[in-house]
Structure formats: C-alpha cells, structure tokens
Amino acid sequence: MSKLSRGHESDPQLKAFDRMDDQALFLGIQRRDSAALSELVARHSYTMLRLARAITGSPDSAQDIVQDVFIALWLRAETLDIVGNVRGYLWSATRNQARMLLRHESVIERHREGSIADLEIVEPFIDTIEQEETARRIYEALEELPRRCREIFLLHWRDDLSVPEIADALQIGLPTVRNQIGRAMRHLVGVLRQSS
Amino acid sequence: MCFCDLAHRIYMTHRVIDDETLASYLAGGLTPEESASIEQALVRSSDDYKVVDQVRSAREVFRREGRLELSEDMQNVRRQVESFIASSPSREAPDFEVRPRLSVNDSPPVRAGRWFPHWAFVTPFLVAALVWGVLKVDRSMVGSEGPGLASVYSTSNGHQASLSLPDGSHVILNVGSRLEVPSNFGMVNRQVRLAGEAVFTVAHRSSVPFSVAAGSTTTTVLGTVFKVRKYDSDTAVSVDVREGRVSVQSTVLTANESAIVTSSGDVSTVAMDLSSFDFIDGKLTISNLPLADAVRDLSRWYDADIQIGSPGLATQKVGGTFTLGSREELINILEKALGFRVIQQGRLLTVYE
C-alpha cells in the first residue's frame, strides 16, 4: 500500500491499537475499575450518541440510551465475554436499546415519518484558512443533498460507522446505504472538481 | 492550482481518475486491489490527489466540529454513568452516603481474572432514585438487625420518591416514609421493611418471593402491584392490591382487595378503597374521617404539625382531595374550603372552629 492511502493519520494501525486498548479497558471494567469505564465512555460516546440519535430522532433519548448501555456494561461486565471487539458490542447494544425504545414509543404514538434524526451539520469553525475553505465548500455541498442521503453519508464518513452497521441500525438495505454514500461522495467530488 | 511551481506543472496530469471512480475510492467502495491502483495513479495526478486530500482534511474538521456539537451530551452521559457508579458502594463512597464500617462490600478489590460474584451481590444498592418536583429522597446507610447491612431510603413529610430496586421492582414511597433494603437484596432475597406508605410494582421472579415487612405483618408476593401502609400513628397495617395476588400472613388477596391487619394479628379483608393509590399522582384523598385522624395524614402531606384547638372539633368529619403543596396552601384549604380558623406559629398550626 502506498503512503497516500493512509493520508497523514495511518488509520489501520491506529485502529488496531484502539481495539487492543478497548479490550484492556474492558478487562479493567471487569475488575471494577471505574476509570476504565470513564475512558471507554470518553472514547465511544460520540459515535453511540450519533447512532442513537439517528435511530430515535431524539437527542434526549440518545443520551439516556448511551448512558444505559454503559451502566449495563458495568453491571454485567463479569458475565460478559467480549472478545476482540468492544466497540462492536457497544454499537450493537446502543442500536438494540434504541430500537427497543422506538418500539415502546410507537405503542404510545405512531412514530414520525422517516424517523431518522435531523443530524444537523454544524457550520464548521476552523483554524486554518485552507481547511476552512474546503470544509465550507463541503458543508455547502452537503446542504444541497437530500437530508436522508446526507445523514447516511455523515454516519459513514464522519462518524465511522460501517455500511452494514448503518443498514442494520436504520433498518434499510445494504444497497441503499451504499447508494446514498456513493451519491453524496460523487456530489462532493463534483463540487471540489468544479472549484479547482 | 499550483501554477507557481513550474516543475510541478510539467508533471501534472489532469484528472487521471474519473469522478465516479474517485468517489467510489473515497467512499471505500473499491476492492483492495482497485484501491491500490488508484493510489498509484494518485501519485501521478496532483489534481486528483488534491480532491482526495481536501475530502480527508474536511473530514477532520467535521469530526472535530461534530464532537464540539455533542460535547455537552457526551459530558452528560459521562456524568450520569459516573454518578451511577459512585452510588454503588463497591466504589468510593459518594458524599451523601455514610459507609458502614463493616461491610461485605469492603472486601479488597478483586485481582485480575479471578472470581467475581454476581453483580447483585457486589452492588446491592444500585437503586436509581427518581425524584419528582422539589421532592427529595434522603439516602443513608445504617446497620439493621440481622447480618446484612441495609440501605435506607426515606422521605420527609411533604416529599415523595420513586425508586427502582436492583431486581427491577419499583417503589413509590409516600410522604414521611422509610424503606429498608438489605444489602443482599436481589437474587436470593427480596425482603424489604417499610415504615409508612408505599406502592410496590414487583418484578416477577418465581423462585424468589418479594416480601414487605411492616409493623409485625409480612406481605409476600411473586410479582404484582400493591400498596402497604403502616405509619407509626396507624394502629393497623393495611395492604391494598391493584394487580396480581398477594399473601398477607395466611390470607390471600387478589386485585382490588384490601386487608387490614390489627396489631394482634387479626386479618380482615375488605373491598379496596378506589382512592387508595391516588398518592402516586400526588393526591391525598380523605373520605369522611374525624378531623383528629385526618390531621395525621395532612401533617405528613404538608409537613406541618397540626393541633386541634377547639375540643369539639376532633370528632368532626372532614373529607376532600389534597394535592401536595406548601403549609400556606394547607392553611388556605383549612380556612377557605373547610371553614376553620388557623393560627400559625412556624410549622405548628392550631385549628379552631
């Protein structure tokens, strides 16, 4: 693999390290080390919140869900046997919890149509001028996309969820997820090409 | 747009890769072999590389911004999780909790990879307290009879609290009440002790009955919704059943039945008073009680000491529905709705004709 493929962040290596460390944190949690849990919360709550928001459409519910997942992890750590993929466990627990909540809520009120959340993209505030220009252009390009397409794309591109994870979380087909991501990316590439 | 760099310009090849392929590459939709060949092409095509670089650098910005946007939520989650853990006595004691000197939970931290008991024993007081309005639950740990140390939840007058017990059962504690939960509550033992009034929604667990001791009466259930009342000022224990079956001493009650157990242990069964569970909604219903009896409930409800000033008043019957509120509201009700005269000295209210 060429250097270029990894950009400046040497992704694959970082991820392997990450996984190993998560595992160590999980062992710490099994030994009732609350600092290990806090660290895991700091690492993963962001993506879990995004995922829970995308499913439930509610930032408040998302907080409750994510917090419940971590508390359950703490309570059940001794009986859990998570080998290798703590993040995967956390994500699927988040997703299940969010779906359970949705089912529960749908009994009370029919769920809003097109239930995925309004993952508003925040207008970026950036430190370097060059980055600012690019990010702003991409921000504007994303605004032009249909909401659902944008949300799926952001879950993947920004929040690092895999295609099957998104499909599973939002209960849509794999091809749909791929199509939406591809569509958004083609749009971005087109916009960037135009401006250079 | 590197026109400044002549050397670069010479080797620059415009758009070696078409948009479609480049987008697929960026979206991670290519096979490793395809990606590798794209990466080789990128080395030769600065225009294409620029797009790739821009997308990546923008991603960093979006990730950073996304974190900023969610930072408050993330902190909330962290706070909640940490405070939950702190409320478990197997960790450092939180400041509102007095740790018992001798506790099974004081055993040294378990070493890596060794045994660890089921969580119910490790964290016996995982009780999330939900408190509504200005109400508060005072939690303290005290020694109790028997080997296990108990966790005690108490409400002061005028305050109610809602608790979840580690087995999934739910308790709504009425004003001026006290619930003792033993340290080994959970998998093998579900016995609590109540002074005051509480509604229990018991999680079903066929092997472990849930029992409430109040006064000298024990009420046992497997899974149901029922209420037990025994304030110190009550001469009898009353048990009201809303759902399921409950056994009181040797008498079995079903839904909408009540049992009154006198201090001598006699059990009588009556139809349940429909207002019996009203306190859950913050309503106290008094139906035609002598004022002397009613003031006991009212004093807990409004956190006031109530005296009857006129001798003839004690036997006068009163009734009504009272919502939780301040002492001033109580005075208002006594004066305007019930037509009494009230003289207030601090928390002491004296009622006259």
User: Over the stretch A116-132, which tens digit does the pLDDT of each residue have?
Assistant: 444 444 444 444 566 77
Distance CA A122, CA A130 (A): 18
- Whether residue A192 and residue B54 make contact (CB cut-off 8 A), yes or no, is yes
pLDDT higher than threshold 60 for residue B136: no
pLDDT digits 0-9 by tens, B20-44: 888 999 988 888 888 888 888 887 7
pLDDT at A45 over 80: yes
| pLDDT (average), residues B195-209 | 81
In this prediction the ipTM stands at 0.75
The region of weakest confidence among A181-185, B149-153, B233-237 is B149-153
Tokens of A81: 């046997």
Asked if B55 lies within 8 A of A192 by C-beta distance, the reply is yes
User: Tokens 């004093």 — which residue?
Assistant: B299
> What is the Cα–Cα distance from A180 to A163, expressed in whole angstroms?
10
Residue by residue, DSSP assigns B311-327 as: GGGGG-EEEEEEES--H
Distance separating alpha carbons of residues A62 and B98, to the nearest angstrom = 33
Question: Which residues of chain A make contact with B51, given a CB cutoff of 8 A?
Answer: 189, 192-193, 196
Range from A145-154, B62-71, B226-235 carrying the lowest mean pLDDT: B62-71
Give me the residue from A67, A122, A130 closest to B81, CB to CB: A67
- pLDDT reported for residue B122: 31
Are A1 and B36 a contacting pair at CB < 8 A? Answer: yes
The mean pLDDT value of chain B amounts to 74
Answer whether residue B138 shows pLDDT above 90.
no
A39 confidence band (pLDDT: 50, 70, 90): confident
Per residue in B176-193, pLDDT tens? 888 888 877 876 678 899
Q: With a cut of 60, say whether residue B121 has pLDDT above it.
A: no
Cβ B57–A134 below 8 Å, yes or no?
A: yes
DSSP chain A: --GGGGTTTTHHHHHHHHHHHHHHHHHHHHTT-HHHHHHHHHHHHHHHHHHHHHHHS-HHHHHHHHHHHHHHHHHHGGG----S-HHHHHHHHHHHHHHHHHHHHHHHSPPPSS-S---PPPPP--SSHHHHHHHHHHHHHHHTS-HHHHHHHHHHHTT---HHHHHHHHT--HHHHHHHHHHHHHHHHHHHHHH-
Find the closest chain A residue to B120 by CA distance. Answer: A75
Dist. CA A91–CA A94, nearest whole Å: 5
Q: Is the pLDDT of residue B98 over 50?
A: no
Which whole number is the average pLDDT over B222-229? Answer: 82
Query: Which helix (H) or strand (E) is B332 found in, with range?
Result: helix B327-332
The answer on pLDDT for B51 being more than 90 is no
If one compares B12 and B323, the residue with the highest pLDDT of the two is B323
* A49 contacts B77? CB cut-off 8 A: yes
Region of poorest pLDDT, from A32-36, A141-145, B91-95: B91-95
Give the closest of B67, B81, B112 to A46, CB-based: B67
pLDDT at A55: 85
CB of B159 closer than 8 Å to CB of B129: no
B15-19, B174-178, B205-209: least confidently modelled range: B205-209
Interface test with B, best of A60, A75, A139, A143 (most B CBs within 10 A): A75
Residue B208 pLDDT exceeds 80: no
**What is residue B215's predicted lDDT score, i.e. its pLDDT?**
86
Region of B69 please: left (phi>0), alpha (psi -120 to 50) or beta: alpha
List the one residue out of A87, A36, A86 whose CA is nearest residue B112: A36
Give first-to-last CA distance, chain B, whole Å: 95
Residues contacting residue B135 through CB under 8 Å, at least 6 positions apart: B155, B158, B159, B160, B161, B324
| pLDDT level of residue A27 (50, 70, 90 thresholds) | confident
Q: For residue B100, how far is the Cα from the chain centroid? A: 23
Question: Given a cut of 80, is residue B110 above it in pLDDT?
Answer: no
Q: Residue B111 pLDDT > 70, yes or no?
A: no
> Who wins on pLDDT, A41 or A11?
A41
pLDDT for residue B48: 84
Please report the pLDDT score of residue A79 as a whole number. Answer: 81
More confident residue, A82 or A63: A63
Predicted confidence at residue A196, as pLDDT, reads 59
What whole-number distance in Å separates Cα of residue B300 and Cα of residue B284?
11
Q: What is the pLDDT of residue B105?
A: 31
- A115-127 in b/e form (b: 16+ CB < 10 A) is bbbebebeebebe
For B74, the closest of A45, A71, A135 (CB atoms) is A45
Tell me which chain A residues have a C-beta less than 8 angstroms from the C-beta of B119.
75-76, 78-79
Cα separation, A171 vs A160, in Å, equals 18
Q: A64: Cβ–Cβ under 8 A, 6 or more apart, which residues?
A: A101
pLDDT greater than 50 at residue B103: no
Residue B118 pLDDT greater than 50, yes or no:
no
Q: Identify from B21, B54, B90, B105 which residue to disrupt to test chain A contact, counting A C-beta atoms within 10 A and taking the largest count.
A: B54
Share of chain B above pLDDT 90, in %: 4
pLDDT score for B183: 74
Q: Which residue has the higher pLDDT, B315 or B107?
A: B315
Q: Report the pLDDT value the prediction gives residue B150, as an integer from 0 to 100.
A: 66
Looking up tokens 């392997």 gives: A16
Residue B101 has which token pair? 């000197």
Contacts of A45 in chain B (CB under 8 A): 73-74, 77-78
* Distance (Å) from the alpha carbon of B75 to chain A's nearest alpha carbon: 8
Q: What is the pLDDT of residue A144?
A: 92
Give helix then strand counts, H and E, for chain B: 7, 20
What is the Cα–Cα distance from B242 to B256, expressed in whole angstroms? 5
The answer to whether residue B228 scores a pLDDT higher than 80 is yes
Chain A positions in Cβ-Cβ contact with residue B76 (cut-off 8 Å): 63, 67
- So what's the pLDDT on residue A182? 94
pLDDT of residue B334: 86
- Is A182's CB within 8 Å of B23's CB? yes
Element (H, E) at B270: strand B267-271
Residues B2, B5, B11, B16, Cα dihedral to 10°: -10
pTM: 0.44
Quick one: pLDDT at residue B94? 30
Phi, psi dihedrals of residue B188, rounded to the nearest 5°: -115, -15
A16-25, A61-70, A88-97: range with lowest mean pLDDT: A16-25
- Residue B308: closest CA among B329, B285, B291: B291
- Rounded Cα–Cα distance for residues A113 and A57 (Å): 11
Segment A128-165, tens digit of pLDDT: 566 777 888 888 899 999 988 998 999 999 988 889 98
Q: Has residue B145 got a pLDDT over 60? A: no
Measured distance CA(A66)–CA(B47) in Å, rounded: 42
**Pair of tokens at residue B247:** 């056994």
Please list every residue in chain B whose beta carbon sits closer than 8 Å to the beta carbon of residue A23: none
pLDDT over 70 at A8, yes or no = no
Chain B residue with CA closest to A62: the answer is B73
User: Chain centroid to CA A100: how far?
Assistant: 19
pLDDT score for A145 = 93
The pLDDT assigned to B232 comes to 86
Query: Which residues of chain B are within 8 Å of residue A70 when distances are taken between CB atoms?
Result: 77, 81
Range with the poorest average pLDDT among A9-18, B43-52, B291-300: A9-18
pLDDT of B123 above 50: no
Task: Note whether B27 contacts A125, CB cutoff 8 Å.
Answer: no
Confidence of residue A81 (pLDDT cuts 50, 70, 90): confident
